[in-house]
Amino acid sequence: MKRIACLVMTLCLCFALACGAKAEGKVTVYMPSPAGLADKLAEAFTAKTGIEVEQFQGTTGEILARLEAEQANPVADVVILASWSDGLSMKAKGQLVSYTPANAEKINEGWIDSDSTLFGYSASAVGVIYNTTVVSELNADWAELAGEQYKDLIAIPDPEKSGACKDFLAGLVTGLENGEEIMKSWADNGLTVPGANKAALEAVTTGEKGILIAGVDYNAYSSIKKGEPLSIYYPASGTVVNPRPAMILNTAPNMDNAKAFIDFLFSDEAQQLVADAYLLPGRSDVQCENRTNLADIPQIATDWDKMMEVASDTAAELNSLCK
């Protein structure tokens, strides 16, 4: 009976929204960067539905820490992370609700998990970002960045702070035959770890380092737009495209509003906001004009189950090698 009542309430909400009526209440959403996108999504959702959005914005690590601290008194309805593997970990712990979002048939292949609990509403990829005043032109593959000409010029985000970098390293060592050897060769070539994504990019933007390995692409595109002397490319042997999972917690205090928010994330309006923020849209029919599109990014074959098994250990190993 409880399930039927919930279904009826959800259908009533969808009908009301379709008729232009405003819903009530709030939805609490935990979202990662970029902050500007989170704010725009919240504003647009409220304007469309009448549902207020309460936000917490932070890194994936900060969001996960907050969720753990709130276990006894759950607050969040919807959680968005910058790491697909961390979303799968939440699923494995039984924290998520299965749901079929609006426009599900338009979502990129593989960006909804088999149980329909993780919804990749956007994605980032990591590439090689370089300062064009330090290195005028660059198209080296991952292994070639261990070359003598790049000694002491290379940096990487801290994979124990950056979910995107952690997932990339896990993909590198499981998806490429010589992936672990490549990672060790970077360390031998003077690889440094300036900090999380923002600090690592800053080191290259200022010219302290010339090349950022596994830099998050939307940060690069945004900085280039602002006039910074940067360029980005995706190495020929492939990279990891990391869908950003939006998820409904099974402890959500505002379950119907949470489902409405997930539906909104795949609307035309929300997907355009994603594209404008230099992220890859979750829908296959939405393309970007300000960055490389999904079909043009060479990808490492990813096995997320294998990657999850080694991700944390690989991140720790990289940091240990670079000490």
- Over the stretch 34-89, which tens digit does the pLDDT of each residue have? 879 999 999 999 999 999 999 999 888 899 999 999 999 999 999 999 889 999 99
pLDDT of residue 22: 60
**Residue that the structure tokens 């819903």 belong to:** 23
User: What's the CA gap between 118 and 191, in Å, rounded?
Assistant: 34
The answer on pLDDT for 309 being more than 60 is yes
Do the strands 230-233 and 119-131 form a parallel or antiparallel pair, or are they unpaired? antiparallel
pLDDT confidence of residue 9:
46
Please check the confidence at residue 16 and state whether its pLDDT lies above 60. Answer: no
C-alpha 157: how far from its chain's center?
A: 15
Across 271-292, average pLDDT: 96
Mean per-residue pLDDT for 109-115?
A: 96
Cβ proximity of 32 and 63 under 8 Å: yes
The H or E element containing residue 155 is strand 154-155
**Residues 121-142: pLDDT tens digits?**
999 999 999 999 999 999 999 9
Cis-peptide, bond into residue 34, ω within 30° of zero: yes
Q: Could you report the per-residue pLDDT of 257-269, keeping only the tens digit for each? A: 999 999 999 999 9
Q: How large is the average pLDDT for residues 208-221?
A: 97
Q: Residue 34 has what pLDDT?
A: 86
Q: What is the mean pLDDT of residues 22-26?
A: 76
pLDDT given at position 231: 98
Closest CA to 297 of 203, 221, 204, 246: 221
Q: Across all residues in the chain, what is the average pLDDT?
A: 92
Looking at residue 23, its pLDDT comes to 59
How is 177-226 classified by DSSP, letter by letter? TTHHHHHHHHHHTT-B--SSHHHHHHHHHTTSSSEEEEEEHHHHHHHHHT
Residue 287, pLDDT score: 95
Q: What is the pLDDT of residue 17?
A: 46
CA proximity to 218, closest of 125, 295, 130, 293: 125
pLDDT-based confidence at 3, cuts 50/70/90? very low
- Integer Cα distance of 282 and 256 in angstroms: 22
Band of residue 20 on the pLDDT scale cut at 50, 70, 90: very low
Give the model's confidence band at 95: pLDDT under 50 very low, under 70 low, under 90 confident, else very high. very high
**Which residue has better confidence, 240 or 16?**
240
Check whether 149 has a pLDDT greater than 70. Answer: yes
